[in-house]
């Protein structure tokens, strides 16, 4: 198996595009090679099987969305209140939505995970780790709310992103922005409100 990390990343990025556009059935080694503009047979030298390709695409999606140190530092700036949480949630929605093909590929991966145990294991571990990291960041940073608030926002905003990327006319962009604000207002407690 070949080890050139740049070529592997190029192939995985091409696989994300194919998966988003063609679905799981369209994700073949030949389609990946064509999308990446490499000779036929290249991707089969990098991945042991289609199962391996699906699993590696799952890794690559999360690698590309992983927030960098600059983004994490910027999230720490400003007050630790509900309004700041809303700003951060808008940033998350925008960042994930900007990687449209990645999000759509991830939905295809989730469907495929119902049939591929290794992929299900990877996605379960990765989503759980991301959710735990988000909860830990939220609590350590001193934002209002806790694990339940973060989990509810995770669930609501993921579905909102799915709706916007697949059926954008159902909820127009401005309405989506207002819904993010409403979700934060309803889910994140205001520390100044009397209990």
Q: Which residue has the higher pLDDT, 73 or 98?
A: 98
Over residues 97-131, the pLDDT tens digits come to 999 999 999 999 999 999 999 889 989 999 999 99
Single out the residue of 123, 111, 121, 152 nearest to residue 135, CA to CA.
Answer: 152
Average pLDDT, the chain: 92
- Residue 194: its pLDDT value, please? 54
CATH class of 1-53: mainly alpha
- CATH 3.90.180.10 applies to domain 67-187: no
Domain boundaries, the chain: 1-53, 67-187
**What is the rounded CA–CA span in Å between residue 81 and residue 37?**
48
- Residue 192: its pLDDT value, please? 67
Label residue 40 left, alpha or beta by phi (over 0 means left) and psi (-120 to 50 means alpha). beta
Q: Are 1-53 and 67-187 equal in CATH topology?
A: no
- Residue 77: its pLDDT value, please? 86
- Residue 65: its pLDDT value, please? 84
């Amino acid at each position: 198996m070949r080890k050139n990390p740049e070529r592997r990343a190029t192939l995985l990025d091409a696989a994300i595009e194919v998966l988003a556009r063609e679905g799981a059935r369209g994700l073949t080694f030949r389609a990946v090679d064509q999308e990446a503009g490499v000779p036929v047979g290249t991707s089969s030298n990098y991945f042991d099987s289609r199962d391996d390709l699906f699993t590696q695409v799952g890794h690559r999606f999360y690698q590309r969305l992983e927030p960098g140190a600059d983004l994490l530092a910027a999230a720490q700036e400003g007050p630790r209140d509900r309004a700041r949480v809303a700003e951060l949630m808008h940033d998350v929605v925008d960042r994930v939505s900007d990687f449209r093909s990645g999000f759509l590929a991830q939905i295809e991966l989730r469907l495929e995970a119902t049939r591929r145990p290794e992929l299900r294991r990877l996605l379960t571990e990765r989503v759980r780790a991301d959710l735990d990291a988000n909860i830990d960041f939220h609590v350590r940073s001193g934002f209002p709310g806790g694990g339940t608030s973060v989990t509810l926002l995770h669930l609501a905003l993921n579905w909102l992103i799915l709706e916007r990327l697949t059926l954008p006319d159902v909820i127009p962009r401005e309405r989506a922005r207002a819904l993010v604000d409403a979700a934060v207002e309803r889910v994140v407690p205001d520390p100044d409100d009397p209990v």
